[in-house]
Every structure is written in structure tokens, then in C-alpha cells.
């Protein structure tokens, strides 16, 4: 189990950015929006909202949005970012210690569960989320998995690129274990990966020009929004699940 105090210290650092890759963040937002747009929503909870930069993208899809984080630093940023959005309510929540205060039609996590230190803690959080959904409510889980990271690094090795390490503060899911745990609680409606983007930005572009590969990431983002080169192949850690409460 990873040290929860060290993880929280990381997120309390005002300089910490949730995701430095803006193009990947946009792809995450697009995927979540595509899932949400097909749901009938009155209420939505965003657990682990960070600076609420993503939360505001969802503001037009539900009458009430409750956005939570446990980091004072992130909550300060979030409160400033949502001042124009009257239907977004920011509050403090430590999902391992606090009850989720509302029952809603949908709940979102974005790379939040991977910061809970262990699979045991992640399971506690998922059960809380299940209990905080309306009947037939939906859980959109955007997290990361070890299989995708391993697949990415196996390909990078073939092109003599250095291994990408698991972040010190993250506990990546094993997808097989996760699916087995979810089975009594949720129906998996969809699971999608970001393989095209990871292949282009972490393998193809660096192989062309390692010093300037980030200049091509915008093009990779455009391709990834319109083309899926790998269908079900999981390259890269990110995954997004649409789950329906049983």
C-alpha cells in the first residue's frame, strides 16, 4: 500500500497539475462528454474534481453538479474557476473518510481512484459510489491500468525508447481484477482506450524526432479524435468505462 499522506502532500502542492498533457486531457473530456450526452441527467457528481477545469465542461448537461476534492489547494483553484457556473457546487470530500453527501443520476471519477494507495481502498470507494447512485444510475470511471502501461512500454522498448514509470502517487488498476470486482455492482456498458493517441505521441512521434516530438502531439490529438487504429487494443494506461448500476 502506498503512503496516503505522501499522496495528499503531492496534491496540496500548489504547483501540482493534474495532467500536463493538454491534448490527452481534451480527449478525456471528449470521451466523458460522449458518454454523458446519451444519459438523462438532473444531478451529477464529479469526485476528485481537481481545479474543476473538466467539471465546467459538463455544466450544461445536468441541473445540479456537485464537485469534490480533498486537496485545499485544488479546491481553491476550483472555487475560482466555477464562479460563473451557478449550477456547480464545490465542496471538500475525502472519499475514504467521508460519506458522499448526495444521491445522483451519474458520478464521474477522473484519475481519482488511482490516488487511493491500494486496491482495497479503491474497492471501498467504488462501493460508496455505487450506493450514491440512483436506481439505474451511471458511473463514468476514467482511470489508468497497468496492462496498458506495460503494453506501451513493451512497444517503446522495441524502438529503443526509455520505459515510462508508474507515477509514485498512483496505484494503477489491474483490469482483470477490476472487472471481476465490478460484476456484482455494475453492468459494463462500454470500455474505451486511448491507444491511437498513446501510440502516436509516446512511440511514433519520439521515434521520428525525440527532441521535437511534442510539436506533433496536436496532430496526433486530431487523428485520435477521428480514427481508432487499434480497436480493442489497449496501449497506454488511460481507460474510460461507462458503468450502469445493477
- Cα 223 vs. chain centroid, distance in angstroms? 21
User: Nearest Cα to 69, choosing from 89, 46, 92?
Assistant: 92
Angle 90-71-167 (CA atoms, 0-180°, nearest 5)?
A: 125
pTM for this prediction:
0.92
Mean pLDDT, residues 196-201: 92
Rounded Cα distance, 33 and 206, in Å? 30
Domain containing residue 167: CATH number: 3.40.50.150
Q: What is the band of 214 on the pLDDT scale with cuts at 50, 70, 90?
A: low
Q: What is the band of 223 on the pLDDT scale with cuts at 50, 70, 90?
A: low
pLDDT for position 12: 86
Please state whether beta strands 88-92 and 64-69 pair in parallel, antiparallel, or not at all (unpaired): parallel
Question: Coil, helix or strand for 220?
Answer: helix
pLDDT at 210 over 60: no
Domain count, the chain: 1
Rounded Cα distance, 155 and 199, in Å? 9
pLDDT at 119 over 90: yes
Burial code of 156-179, b = ≥16 C-beta within 10 A, e = fewer?
A: beeeebeeeebbebbbbbebeebe
Task: Look up the domain containing 137 and give its range.
Answer: 4-245
Question: Coil, helix or strand for 140?
Answer: strand
Rounded Cα distance, 242 and 110, in Å? 12
Rounded Cα distance, 166 and 160, in Å? 19
The pLDDT tens digits for 31-86 are: 999 999 999 999 999 999 999 999 999 999 999 999 999 999 999 999 999 999 99
Q: What is the band of 233 on the pLDDT scale with cuts at 50, 70, 90?
A: confident
Helix (H) or strand (E) holding 94: none
Amino acid at each position: 500500500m502506498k503512503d496516503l499522506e505522501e499522496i495528499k502532500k503531492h496534491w496540496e502542492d500548489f504547483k501540482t497539475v493534474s495532467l500536463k498533457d493538454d491534448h490527452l486531457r481534451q480527449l478525456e473530456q471528449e470521451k466523458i462528454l460522449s458518454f454523458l450526452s446519451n444519459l438523462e441527467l438532473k444531478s451529477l457528481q464529479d469526485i476528485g474534481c481537481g481545479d474543476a477545469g473538466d467539471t465546467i465542461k459538463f455544466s450544461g448537461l445536468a441541473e445540479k453538479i456537485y464537485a469534490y476534492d480533498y486537496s485545499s489547494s485544488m479546491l481553491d483553484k476550483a472555487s475560482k474557476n466555477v464562479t460563473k457556473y451557478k449550477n456547480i457546487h464545490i465542496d471538500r470530500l475525502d472519499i475514504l473518510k467521508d460519506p458522499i453527501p448526495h444521491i445522483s443520476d451519474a458520478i464521474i471519477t477522473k484519475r481519482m481512484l488511482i490516488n487511493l494507495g491500494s486496491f482495497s481502498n479503491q474497492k471501498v470507494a467504488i462501493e460508496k459510489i455505487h450506493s450514491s447512485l440512483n436506481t439505474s444510475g451511471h458511473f463514468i470511471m476514467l482511470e489508468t491500468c497497468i496492462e496498458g502501461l506495460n503494453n506501451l512500454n513493451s512497444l517503446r522498448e522495441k524502438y529503443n525508447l526509455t520505459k515510462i514509470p508508474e507515477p509514485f502517487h498512483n496505484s494503477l488498476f489491474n483490469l482483470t481484477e477490476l472487472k471481476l470486482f465490478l460484476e456484482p455492482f455494475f453492468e459494463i456498458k462500454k470500455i474505451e482506450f486511448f491507444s491511437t493517441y498513446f501510440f502516436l505521441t509516446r512511440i511514433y512521434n519520439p521515434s521520428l524526432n525525440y527532441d521535437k516530438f511534442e510539436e506533433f502531439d496536436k496532430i496526433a490529438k486530431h487523428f485520435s479524435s477521428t480514427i481508432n487504429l487499434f480497436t480493442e487494443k489497449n496501449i497506454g494506461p488511460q481507460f474510460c468505462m461507462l458503468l450502469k448500476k445493477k
